[in-house]
Amino acid sequence: MIDETILEHIVARGVKLGASYVEARYHKHSGSYAVTRMNKTISVGRVFSEGVAIRVLVKGSLGFASTNNVSKDSLERTLEKAVSRAKAFSYMYTEPISFADVKTVTYSYEVEPVKDFNNVSIGEKIGFYKEVYNSLRTSLVQSKLRSLVIEYFDDVEEKVIVTSEGSIVKSSIPRIYVFYNFTLYTPEKGTIQRMYELGASGGLELLDKWDIVSRVPEEAKTLEKVLLKGKSPPKGKVDVVLGSEIVGLMVHESAGHPSEADRILGREAAQAGESFIRKGMLGKRIGSEVSTVIDDPTIPGSYGYYLYDDECVKARPKYLYKNGIINEHLHNRWTAKVFNTVSNGSARAMDYTSEPIIRMSNTYFKPGDYSFEELLEDIRVGVYIKSYMEWNIDDVRWSQRYVGLEAYLIENGEIKEPIRNPVIELTTKGFYESVDAADKSLEFHAGTCGKGEPHQGVPVWFGGPNVRLRNIVLGVAPY
């Protein structure tokens, strides 16, 4: 890591240049990657980026500059750029920017891997892929494997953040990510495809935990049955039980994104859209008493893990929707000031070239107290949708559509034969109002959330329990 005294020098110099706030963030990524297709390695390589990002506030105008040259002279020049830009753009602000107050902090933390992936060859890291390929092929009975792609990434993210208010936060977080995509085919039934992501903070012990060699062939066998034996879903209004994978996606899209306070204020309108939530909607009902959505970066081992955000604000769980009520937004220090509240530690940057913006971390639907069997027991005719194959949602995060992948008919409280391509199409309020029960389970799924211009991708989890929705009109996608 960089010597923090250099960052302290830059911060002090920024104040002398007239900035009311200065933030210097050293940000480093180092790791490796590999991509395989079927039983062949397509590409391998190293990932490395290192630099310093500097933000300044000068007379209500925010300036940003970054560099990959971390020498003292280079950082001084980068600071001068940030100050110059803040002054140059000051005329554009109808209202001066200011930040909500925070407590100063000095803190250092790191995630200790059980099995360090540094100094381990990429061949050892991805040695499982040929076994996955062979096991998957031999597990199939009637269909053929059309394609199999596996991607592996590991990364250590290191940061040192120093502010002119006196805060210093250091962190080191190793992460591993695996993506796989396979397609099965029969001449009579066509194709079925599965894409999935695994990600967490930690070391190579995660590969043992995920057991990809067993996981992928088992999924393939299940989806082969869906492909060969799947029927059309029932028509009319039915009760639907959704698995954690699709529930997690839905809360990420319909609670997490619309709760981003910068999006509520219109900052994302030209890039990723707006929000159905407006300033002043805290306390409004959006769903049933069962519907609670939490965003929590402090979950140990999570993919979206952090204890302090990139503005040196302590992280904590945020209850975005609480018992069906819009309860809290995701804030950075600027939006917190606009909303007359305090930051809840939601500002993150992808790398040293990026400014911190409001991001989700680990977003999930709060589990209930039912068993899975209890969710099913009073359903006469319904559908259980365990995973999804496609989805879309409008720019304000209101109208949305999800197509099931692994799904089953429910009859008289029991799981029956597989069904193909059930579609649920509803509004955000329609979803949360329809949920009347959730079971005790809690599963998380990994993703890379995209936002901003220039685009920033950051690691996140999304998840939840199995939940039950009443009286949902099902559609069916072509197959």
271 and 150 both lie in a single domain: no
Extract the runs of DSSP E, i.e. beta strands, from 131-167.
Answer: 144-163
Q: Residue 168: give its domain's CATH number.
A: 3.30.2290.10
State residue 132's pLDDT score: 97
Number of domains in the chain: 2
Q: Which of 202, 229, 256 is the last residue of a domain?
A: 229
| 3-class DSSP state of 31 | strand
State residue 455's pLDDT score: 93
Q: Which residues of the chain have pLDDT under 50?
A: none
Q: Are the beta carbons of 468 and 240 closer than 8 angstroms? A: yes
- 44 closest CA partner among 53, 52, 35: 35
176 and 277 both lie in a single domain: no
**For 132-136, which contacts have Cβ atoms below 8 Å and span 24 or more sequence positions?**
132/180, 132/212, 132/213, 132/216, 132/217, 133/38, 133/39, 134/39, 135/213, 135/214, 135/216, 135/217, 136/182, 136/216, 136/217, 136/220
DSSP 8-state symbol, 366 = P
28 and 78 both lie in a single domain: yes
Q: Which of 188, 212, 229 is the last residue of a domain?
A: 229
CA gap 156, 158 in Å, rounded: 6
402 and 270 both lie in a single domain: yes
Q: Which of 229, 256, 283 is the last residue of a domain?
A: 229
| 3-class DSSP state of 82 | helix
Mind listing the pLDDT tens digit for each residue in 65-93?
A: 999 999 999 999 999 999 999 999 988 88
CA gap 345, 358 in Å, rounded: 9
Tell me the two tokens of residue 468. Answer: 């039950």
The neighbour count for residue 333, using CB atoms within 10 Å, is: 24
Dihedrals phi, psi of 328, to nearest 5 degrees: -160, 145
Q: Are the beta carbons of 184 and 143 closer than 8 angstroms? A: yes
Mind listing the pLDDT tens digit for each residue in 263-321?
A: 999 988 887 789 999 999 999 999 999 999 999 999 999 999 999 999 999 999 999 99
Domain of 455, in residue numbers: 237-476
Query: Which residues, including other chains, have CB under 8 Å from residue 187's CB and lie 6 or more apart?
Result: none
131 and 266 both lie in a single domain: no
CA gap 457, 29 in Å, rounded: 13
384 and 455 both lie in a single domain: yes
State residue 479's pLDDT score: 79
157 and 268 both lie in a single domain: no
180 and 307 both lie in a single domain: no
Strand-pair category, 381-385 with 237-242: parallel
Which H helix or E strand runs over 469?
Answer: strand 467-476
State residue 271's pLDDT score: 79
